[in-house]
Structure 1
Amino acid sequence: MATYITVVDVDTILGTSWTTPDKKDRAVMQANAYLTSFNLSGVDMDAIPEEVKQAGAELAKCAADGVLYQQQSSGSLEAKTVKAGSVTTSKTFGAIDSSSTKAQAEGIQFALALLNPWLRSSFGFDVCR
């Protein structure tokens, strides 16, 4: 796991009261794991850009608040009915759109916006000539 942010960085960016001292190390570790999962392209690990540090701080705050890895448990109830001749069948189920950015906390959305220049599209590839 790469280290993009430290507790000292988050304390500097958000102030020391962003969470209780007992949660800080774990929250920063979770933020670094989250950032590492993106395989950020072009980030100089010897001089982490301020935007990446800010994003890491936002993610650490979300982790401390318990929303960084929170599972979405609400959605919409949907029902489908199919009729073929005299036979009718219906199915009722809950649908959750977990891919929607609306399903993510505000701090996570802000962090992703900050990271946009370093995020690679999963559909893109490099072409060398």
Structure 2
Amino acid sequence: MATYITVADVDAILGASWAPDDKKARSVLQANAYLTSLNLVGIDMDAIPEEVKQAGAELAVVASEGKLYQQHTEGSLEAKTVKAGSVTTSKTFASIDTSKSTALPDGVQFALGLLAQWRTSGFSFNVYR
């Protein structure tokens, strides 16, 4: 796992009161794990850009609130009805679309926006000739 931010970095960016002292180390660890999982490209690890540090700080705050790796269980209730002749059947079910970024906490969305230039699409690949 890469280390993009430290507790000292987050304290410098957001002030020392961003989280209780007992949660800071774990929150920064989770933020670094999240950043590492994004497979950011083109970042000089000896001189981390300020945008990446800011994104890491935002992720650390979300992690300190217990929302970075939280499962989303809210969705919409949907119903479908089918009629064939005199027979009618209906089905009611819950639906959640986790592929949309709106399902993410606002701090995570902000961090992903800050990191856009270093992120690569999971559906893209390099072609060398």
Superposition map of 1:9-24 within 5 A: 9-24=9-24
- Does 1:79 pair with 2:72? no
Aligned partners of 1:100, 1:126: CA distance in 2, in Å? 26
Q: Deviations over 1:81-127 (max 9, x none)?
A: 11122222211111111122222111111100000000001122112
Q: Which residue of 1 aligns with 2:3?
A: 3
Aligned partners of 1:10, 1:47: CA distance in 2, in Å? 16
SS for the counterpart of 1:17 is helix
Q: CA deviation at 1:128?
A: 2.1
- Does 1:45 pair with 2:45? yes
Aligned partners of 1:122, 1:111: CA distance in 2, in Å? 18
Runs in 1 of length 4+ with deviation above 6 angstroms? none
Q: Which residue of 2 aligns with 1:103?
A: 103
SS for the counterpart of 1:110 is helix
Gaps of 5+ in 2: none
The one-letter code sitting in structure 1 at the alignment partner of 2:24 is K
The one-letter code sitting in structure 1 at the alignment partner of 2:88 is T
Q: How many residues get paired?
A: 129
Q: CA deviation at 1:15?
A: 0.5
Q: Which TM-score applies when normalising by structure 1?
A: 0.95
Q: Deviations over 1:11-68 (max 9, x none)?
A: 1111100000000011001001110111101111111111111100000000001111
How much identity, in percent, do the aligned residues show?
70
Aligned partners of 2:28, 2:60: CA distance in 1, in Å? 5
Q: Which residue of 2 aligns with 1:63?
A: 63
Aligned partners of 2:33, 2:87: CA distance in 1, in Å? 52
Aligned partners of 2:94, 2:3: CA distance in 1, in Å? 38
